[in-house]
Structure 1
Amino acid sequence: MALKATIYKALLNIADMDRHVYGEHNLTIAKHPSETDERMMMRVLAYALNVPADDLRGRLEFTRGLSEVDDPDLWQLDLTGEVVHWIDLGQPDERRLMKAHGRAGRVSLYCYAASTPVWWAGIESKLTRAPKLAVWQIAPEESQALAAFAERSMQLQVSIQDGHVYLSTASRQLEIHPRALKHAEA
């Protein structure tokens, strides 16, 4: 018998001063049986960092993720079904990233493992022809601390200013410093 996803609910209050995006978002997150709290919370962080100011070009949504290998972790689809923004986590190979690059208007990748510098050194030169790709590194100690925020029902305050992310709940606080490994070209 297959294990089912565990459902988490999050009320996310976002104040992104860098992009001038503010709002309250009710999220329902299906955590795959093999997914860690760290990875699930990285998906929540990626949502907060990329949620659009409005829904004119579609909403940012969690996908089936680990259940469907061809889908990203999050995506923004417009009303015609075109992928506006493809968001992945981890350390995929260049073929997956280039395929996403061909399908989407923008591609963002968030890496959070201690092995990211080694992975990036081996793949960086293969991504020079991917101008729509942005790659970010979250320090492993920050992503591991983020995992402690995981609860079945969460209320998170997320403030983003000068490239720094400040997360808080009633009992926890965390500062995250995403580091750009590759910027997307404008």
Structure 2
Amino acid sequence: MAAGATIHTFEITLADVDRGVYEDLSLRAARHPSETDAFLMTRVLAYCLEHEEGIAFGEGISTTDEPAVLVRDLTGRITAWIEVGAPEADRLHHGSRLADRTAVYTHRDPAKVLARWDGKRIHRREEIVLRSFDAGFADDAAALLARRNALTVSVTEGHLYLELNGTSLDSAVHTRALG
């Protein structure tokens, strides 16, 4: 019998001063057995840092039709395609054609992620941003994960302050354009 997804719940206080977003969120995230804790943590942070009306997790890592996180307008059209990790160039190309904006959040070495896309065709490459955190940040946060989590996310002047289950961490949010 195949192992199923593990459900993690997050009670989140979000204060993104840079974007003027202040919300209290209750979030459930399913971690697929092939998904690492660092990937899950990056996916939750991407959700928080991109939070706006219509945001949701995609159907899961096994689907090719949706990214890890997406934003839909009231008509159901995808307006933001947000990938996590190191997606293939063809997924970014596809997402960039569908959505008004495309972003990638990675817990990996951003230079290696960018190198994967060199010479590959990606629609509106120059408009896509890659966001990453300080080395080890996602792994440190992932080590604190539990099934039920209390999370405070604060962003000011491009710096992320995170309190997860009583432990504080922080990191710069590094942004690079693909183009």
What's the TM-score, normalizing by structure 2?
Answer: 0.90
Give the direction of change, closer, same or farther, for the CA distance of 1:168–1:99 in structure 2 (3 Å limit): same
User: Secondary structure of 1:25's partner?
Assistant: strand
1:72 lines up with 2:70 in the alignment: no
CA contact (8 A) 1:84 1:105 kept: yes
CA distance in 2, matches of 1:138, 1:93: 20
Match of 1:118 in 2: 112
CA contact (8 A) 2:16 2:155 kept: yes
Give structure 1 stretches of 5+ with no counterpart: none
Q: After superposition, where does 1:49-68 map in structure 2 within 5 Å?
A: 49-52=49-52, 55=53, 59-68=54-63
User: Secondary structure of 2:131's partner?
Assistant: strand
CA distance in 1, matches of 2:6, 2:116: 35
Name segments (4+ residues, structure 1) moved above 4 Å.
124-128
CA distance in 1, matches of 2:48, 2:113: 25
User: Secondary structure of 1:65's partner?
Assistant: coil
Comparing 89-98 with 31-40, greater Cα deviation is found at 89-98
Q: Which one-letter code corresponds to 1:30 in the other structure?
A: A
CA distance in 2, matches of 1:86, 1:143: 21
Q: After superposition, where does 1:147-158 map in structure 2 within 5 Å?
A: 147-158=142-153
CA distance in 2, matches of 1:137, 1:10: 21
Root-mean-square deviation (CA), in Å? 2.0
Q: Which one-letter code corresponds to 1:41 in the other structure?
A: M
Comparing 131-140 with 68-77, greater Cα deviation is found at 131-140
Alpha-carbon deviation of 1:40? 0.6
Give structure 2 stretches of 5+ with no counterpart: none
Give the direction of change, closer, same or farther, for the CA distance of 1:93–1:169 in structure 2 (3 Å limit): closer
Q: Which one-letter code corresponds to 1:62 in the other structure?
A: F
Alpha-carbon deviation of 1:153? 0.6
User: Secondary structure of 1:178's partner?
Assistant: strand
Same amino acid, percent of matched pairs? 33
> How many residue pairs align between the two structures?
178
Q: Which one-letter code corresponds to 2:51 in the other structure?
A: V
CA distance in 2, matches of 1:94, 1:61: 22
Match of 2:170 in 1: 175
Q: Any idea what the Cα deviations from partners look like across 1:13-57, whole Å, max 9, x if unmatched?
A: 0011100000100001111111111111111110110001xx3xx
Alpha-carbon deviation of 1:149? 2.7
CA distance in 2, matches of 1:88, 1:149: 23
CA contact (8 A) 2:71 2:81 kept: yes
Match of 2:27 in 1: 27
Q: Any idea what the Cα deviations from partners look like across 1:141-182, whole Å, max 9, x if unmatched?
A: 111111023111111111100001100135201102121121
Give the direction of change, closer, same or farther, for the CA distance of 1:95–1:159 in structure 2 (3 Å limit): same
CA contact (8 A) 1:15 1:159 kept: yes
What's the TM-score, normalizing by structure 1?
Answer: 0.87
